[in-house]
Amino acid sequence: MLLDGEVVRSCITPASAAAGRSVTTIEGIADGDRLHPVQEAFAEHGVLQCGFCAPGMVVAAAALLRGTPRPTKAQIVEALNGNLCRCGTYPALVAAVQEAANDVGEANQR
Ligand code: FES
C-alpha cells in the first residue's frame, strides 16, 4: 500500500503508522471503473497471483511508474523486491510492468 504516496509493506506496518496519513490500497489505484495500466497489463500477461501478492505488486509497480515512467528491468525488479511470490510469476510480471510503462508513456504524450 501507499502511505502518503510511498510504498510500504502493509503486512508489517502498524495501523497506528497510518494515523493522519493518506492511505492508498489496490482499490485506489484504478480511476473509477477504468483499470490502471498496470492492472490491465497484469491481466493481459496472465500474471495470476494470490490475494496477497497481486495488490502489493500492482501498487508497487504503479508507484514505480509514477516516478520512473521508463524503468529498466533492474529497476522493476528492485521496486518489486519486497513482494515475495512463491509461484514463479516473475518473468510475466516484469513483462507486464514494461508494457504498462509503454501505456503510461503513450498516455503522457497525448
Ligand atoms: S501469487 Fe501469492 S505467493 Fe505467489
pLDDT digits (tens, 9 = 90+) for 81-110: 888 888 877 888 899 999 999 877 666 665
Give 67-80 pLDDT, tens digit per residue.
999 999 999 999 99
Give 32-66 pLDDT, tens digit per residue.
999 999 999 999 998 888 888 889 999 999 999 99
Residue 85 Cβ contacting ligand 1 at under 6 Å: yes
Cα separation of 78 and 43, whole Å?
22
Residue 52 Cβ contacting ligand 1 at under 6 Å: yes
Ligand 1 centroid to Cα of residue 51, in Å, is 8
Give pTM, 2 decimals: 0.86
The CATH number of residue 70's host domain is 1.10.150.120
Burial 54-91 (b: 16+ CB within 10 A, else e): bbbbbbbbbbbbeeeeebeeeebeebbeebebeeebee
Residue 87 Cβ contacting ligand 1 at under 6 Å: yes
Domain containing residue 28: 2-109
Note every long-range contact of 14-20, with CB atoms under 8 Å and residues 24 or more positions apart, other chains counting: none
Total domain count for the chain? Answer: 1
